[in-house]
Structures are given as C-alpha cells and as structure tokens.
A = this chain, B = another copy of it.
C-alpha cells in the first residue's frame, strides 16, 4: 500500500459520495504521536499513541469471536476509571501468541506508564502518576506471529518526545494512516454538536479492509470527544450506536480476533453534568456519535479489500429486525451476489437466492425487490416494466442500492458492503508476501 498524502484531498471528494467529509482539527485534551517501529520493515508509521494528559472517560465494544487477541484480553481486564493513553500498532495482531503475547502487553503498559509519568513530571504544573492499567491497546495485522515487543518498546522515548498537544488535520491523517493495514485510504470523520448550550467536538478514525463482519465492534474505530460525560454514559451511547453502524457493515463475513471500537472523552467541554442517558440534552450528542460512527463504518465498507463498488442493502417490512438483519447480511456476504455486482450484472436471481437461504420465513407472493430506483420483483412476479438493459446501465454506478421488501411486518435494517473482485483475491492470497 503506497498512499500519497497529496492525493488524499482529491480522494476525499470521491469518498464524499458515501458520507460527508470534514477536516479534523484540535480537540482539547488529546495528544497524538505517530512513529515507525519498523514493524513492516519499510518506511511507514505503524505505531500511534493517543495521550490524555488530564485523563479521559472511556467506553469500548470488543469482538465477539470466541478467540480474542492478547491486547483485547488486557483491555477487558483493566478496570481503571480513568484512561491515560491508547496505543495502536499495525502489522501484528498479538493473537494466538500465548502467555508471551500477554506478558508483552503488560511490559509495554509498564514502560509506557513509567515514561509518561516522567513526561508529566517534566512538563506539567503538578506531577501525576500514570498507572499501567490506564492504557488501552489495539493491534491489527497477522495472527499468530510473535509480538514484536522490543521493536515497539524501543520507540517509546521517540514516540513520547513526538507528542503534540495541539492537533491539526495533518496529524489526524497521519494517525489514521498509522493504524491501517491493507486499507487503501485513511478513514476519518467528525461532527460537532451541542450538549445543552455547550459546543462539543467528535472526531473519529478507523481502519478496516478485510475480516470485516459484525459480531459487534468490527475492525478498529476510535472516536474522541471533549464532551464532559461519564464512562457509563459513553458506554450506553456507544452500545446504542454500534448496532446500525459498525455492526451493519460486512466485507467478507469474516470476524477478527481484534475488533474494537472505543469512545473516549477528555471532558474538556464545559457542558453541564449529564446524569441520565435519556436526558434530552444528550439527544443531539447521541445522534452526532451515530453520524460519526456511520460515516467511519461506510468508509470501512467502501474501502473493503478490492472494492470497486459500495453497496447499500435495505430490508424492510420484516417481522423482526433480526430477520431484516439476517437477510441484509445473507445478501451482503453472498459471493455470488458480490461478484455479479462486480461484473455489473443485474443478476437479481442471486439476490433472491440469498434471501431464500437466510432462514427468514418468506412468502414469495409478498416479496418485492428493487435495484436502485428500479423495481425488479413485485410481489413475487417480475415487474411488468422491468428492463434489464436499463438496470444494467444503473449497475455501472459506483454506489449500488438493493432494496428488499418482505411484506410480512414492519421492521427494517440497512447493511453496507462492497463487491467481490479479483483484487480481493490478489490482496489476500499475497497478504504476507
């Protein structure tokens, strides 16, 4: 992956078809540093540190795989009320690395907390102790390879020296680039909103690409805000929004051992204390968090490995939301549907096949399907005005919408995915070489 930062601002316009893009800027209480720990044996940043010098409240959702990486085990174990840092590495997943993988995290947490404490002592008006359990770790990359403890540890002096207390859009882009693997683009999103009469910022970055399928927090996503909110409120906000954002995307139906999305707040905004998640003053914030997560999730799906098209799948009028979700993902994960779309072929029979295999009860006589604005199947019959040539022309678009109307209830779900191309095979057959 060779990413040219100069092209990024052009690329952004392309991305904006999927979701709005805005520049990220300074957010109070967040410091960022990116370096190369030479994990790829090539010149690229692969280690990103977020440092919250006055602490932060935080919430996370993790992979639902039954095999989880050592850093996820660490994150689930620490029970600190306060978060001081988040360290993200690419290239090595630290999964199936056994006890040495976990010991490595422990050692990194110890070293990083010590060195950050020293920094506090030098820089700050009042010295603070950073404890090792105030650090979250995220890893992405190959499973089962020895975790490069020393390479990472040895960069700490440099990593900490590089910390900037004032952020700008380039620093955020560098951070977003430091956490990617086979992604072709960094993924950033932002929103601003009010809690009561106070403005708050919400900035997020993510990485995705392969092994993307919801069983909760898919791939890596990190959202930062200055809103003054407790960890408990953040957790409810994150859990509420994850379902229809990061858990609504799929690239290949595969779930990582390392998936993780965190919502971190520096509490620097002067909004009035919110005690109740249902407080109407929080409504705007909850919506904005949802916007940022959805924006990031769409970017992840649209940049799925080898993607040439971004696909939105709507299922409506099902008996339960779970059925609508199952139908959406049966379509989103069907290699036959995804290759047909790659081939720009309106082969709607494959959509029907995917609906049929989803386990949802179907009444053919009530089933309707549209591709883009064009009705294809109307209550079980080929739509009278269906014109394959016209729909074939629509298939040449980069953004493809598929709508399924089950006609049996009132529930719905929307999922996002990409097509399946030769490029996906190329990327994944040669991932490590």
CB nearest to A380 among chain B residues: B98
What 1/0 flags go to A355-396 for Cβ under 8 Å of B? Answer: 111111110100100000000010011100000000000000
- Say whether A95 faces chain B, with CB atoms less than 8 Å apart: yes
When all copies of this chain in the complex are counted, the total is 2
- Say whether A352 faces chain B, with CB atoms less than 8 Å apart: yes
User: Measured between alpha carbons, how far is A215 from B361 in the docked complex, in Å?
Assistant: 15
- Say whether A350 faces chain B, with CB atoms less than 8 Å apart: yes
CB nearest to A350 among chain B residues: B143
Interface residues of A in 322-350 (CB under 8 A from B): 333-336, 339-340, 342-343, 345, 347-350
- Say whether A254 faces chain B, with CB atoms less than 8 Å apart: yes
> Which residues from B are CB-within-8-Å of A66?
355-362
> Which residues from B are CB-within-8-Å of A355?
66-67
* A254-B380 contact in complex given A353-B65, A425-B342, C-beta closer than 8 Å: no
Contact surface of A with B, Cβ cutoff 8 Å: 65-68, 93, 95-96, 98, 142-145, 210-211, 213, 215, 252-257, 333-336, 339-340, 342-343, 345, 347-350, 352-362, 364, 367, 377, 380-382, 420-422, 424-426, 428-433
Cβ contact within 8 Å between A254 and B354: yes
Distance of A327 from chain B, by nearest CB (Å): 10
User: Measured between alpha carbons, how far is A95 from B352 in the docked complex, in Å?
Assistant: 9
CB nearest to A381 among chain B residues: B98
> Which residues from B are CB-within-8-Å of A343?
428-431, 433
User: Measured between alpha carbons, how far is A352 from B257 in the docked complex, in Å?
Assistant: 9
* A144-B252 contact in complex given A98-B380, A425-B421, C-beta closer than 8 Å: no
Cβ contact within 8 Å between B254 and A357: yes
Main secondary structure of the interface of A (DSSP, over half): loop
Distance of A389 from chain B, by nearest CB (Å): 13
Distance of A189 from chain B, by nearest CB (Å): 26
List 10 additional contacts besides A66-B358, A66-B361; criterion CB under 8 Å. A67-B364, A68-B356, A96-B352, A143-B352, A252-B336, A254-B335, A257-B356, A342-B429, A343-B433, A422-B425
> Which residues from B are CB-within-8-Å of A144?
348-349, 352, 377, 382
Distance of A354 from chain B, by nearest CB (Å): 7
> Which residues from B are CB-within-8-Å of A364?
67, 96
Distance of A380 from chain B, by nearest CB (Å): 6
> Which residues from B are CB-within-8-Å of A429?
339-340, 342-343, 345, 421
